[in-house]
Amino acid sequence: MTKKSRLGALDPRPKLMLMASASTACILANDLIYIASVLCMLIATLLIGGMDVRLVLRRAKAIFVLIAMLFVIQTFFSGLPYPGGLLLAAMLSLRLLVVVLAGLILMEGEVRDYLLALVQMKMPYTLAFMVVVGLHFLPILREEAVNIYCCMQLRGKDFKNMKLTEKVRAYTGICLPILVGALRRADEMSVAMETRGFRSRPSRTYMRQLKMRGADIALTILWPAILVVLYEVECVF
Amino acid sequence: MALTARALSYAYHKGGALAVDDFSADFAQGKITAVMGPNGCGKTTLSKLLVGILKPLCGEVTLNGMALPGLTLAETGRRIGLVMQQPGRQLFTTSVTEEIAFGLNCLALGQEETDGRVAKYLAYFGLQKYADRFPFELSIGEQQRLVIASVIAMQPAYLILDEPTSALDRGRKDDLRTLLRSLSADEDVGVLLISHDERFVSCCADSVIAMEKGRIL
Ligand SMILES: Nc1ncnc2c1ncn2[C@@H]1O[C@H](COP(=O)(O)OP(=O)(O)OP(=O)(O)O)[C@@H](O)[C@H]1O
Ligand SMILES: [Mg+2]
């Protein structure tokens, strides 16, 4: 077990609220200063929350690079006169950054906690369960793809010395068994779950109940409140 | 001539427990060596280290005196055949015939040679009547036979079999034992047999290595 950061120890609901409100606000807003201030607040929250900055940079490196590239492209190819293109590009990039960073907040926490949170927020269990199981299975699919890739090579397929078209065909060949395997497993899993009583009753019990504490409630209310106040302040000026 | 492991160690997580711990052994050509040990003692991990799917933390694997990292997986696969533990996760073509022919085509064997070997191993493993079936539709035991057939058909100098009898009935086990014995005696193949099946091991293997917690006992 890794040590839990402050954010990690929070109830999942404030984090869901934070993510939803910050992303929504920045997607709706059309104002550079507003988006920039939300971004600053978000970064402050992440730092105070004890998020490992280096880990974040490593995990989301590709996305940050992509955002930087989009910024450059939009600056030069927006077709607007000088400051216009730059401002537009800055706004779009910052907006994307907010969405990504807000999403990263969710990584400070365990998947099963989000499942419980979704259920306690009255999302139907079956739906919440499927979302969470889906997320859990993604890395497994990756592992299976790597396994097949190794098997193919051990049977003599040399992926290194291959023409591009051949390469594309070979990689598509990896997808077939993965797809068949995933479909079959989903099928078998659903039967196995029903034989163990999943959905046999309209309601079910849970081993744990999530409880909102002071900090959780404060964060849940504070973030949307600040977003609204900020917006009003911007409007006045 | 041998496949040699020298002081191999491996951990799946940095700083975590060692799945294979200071493992050294020679797997000679022409011999059947069995590796036995309880669940989770590192047998599967060892097999993946030996073919180079996993890279050891320390120690090295040499094949006839040549260090393994110098070879690509495709080159290793021509010399060392690996039958992994779960049959369903090693099939990737759309018919039983194609599955066996895959490796032979990669070896660029002629059409005649390929057809000959495919027919031979289909027959040996009792798979003729499934020749055009989709491999994923076979029973687990049939899949296991298909994987073994596909790997052996490439005629590698070494064979590593991870629980090859886990889904086989008694008759099929006898067939496999006969085949392995004749491969090692007549073709000088070095066989590394990972198994829990004590009866199978006792009448098949020339020597047994007992493993526990990643080490040789
Ligand atoms: N992909 C993985 N990630 C993390 N740990 C792993 C992984 N694969 C295996 N392990 C761990 O490494 C250890 C050795 O596993 P391994 O699969 O080599 O055992 P095994 O001897 O083949 O067992 P079995 O008899 O059940 O097949 C086990 O403790 C296992 O939990
Ligand atoms: Mg194993």
Q: Is the CB of B12 under 6 A from ligand 1?
A: yes
What is the rounded distance in angstroms from the CA atom of residue A109 to the CA atom of residue A4? 8
Ligand closest to the CA atom of residue B39: 1
Ligand 1 centre distance from Cα of residue A146 (Å): 17
Residue with tokens 């029903």, as numbered in its chain: A194
User: By CA distance, what is A160's nearest residue in B?
Assistant: B72
Residue B97, pLDDT > 90, answer: yes
The 10s digit of each residue's pLDDT in B169-192 is: 999 999 999 999 999 999 999 999
The larger pLDDT score, comparing residue B126 to residue A184, is at B126
Indicate the pTM of the whole model. 0.76
From the CA of B4, how far away is ligand 2's center (Å)?
20
Give the position of tokens 């940095």: B14
Q: What are phi and psi of B32, to 5 degrees?
A: -110, 115
Taking residues A18-24, report their average pLDDT. 91
Mean of pLDDT values over A207-226:
87
Q: pLDDT tens digits, residue range B139-154?
A: 999 999 999 999 999 9
Give mean pLDDT, residues A52-67: 85
E strands present in chain A? none
Complex ipTM, two decimals? 0.89
CA–CA gap between residue A148 and residue B91 (Å, rounded) = 8
Distance of CA B214 from the midpoint of ligand 1 (Å): 10
8 Å CB contact of B81 and A154:
yes
Is any Cβ of chain A less than 8 angstroms from the Cβ of B189?
no
The pLDDT of residue A234 is above 50:
yes
Residues A7 and A3: their CA atoms lie apart, in Å, by 11
Task: Give the model's pLDDT for residue B171.
Answer: 94
pLDDT average, residue stretch B37-48: 95
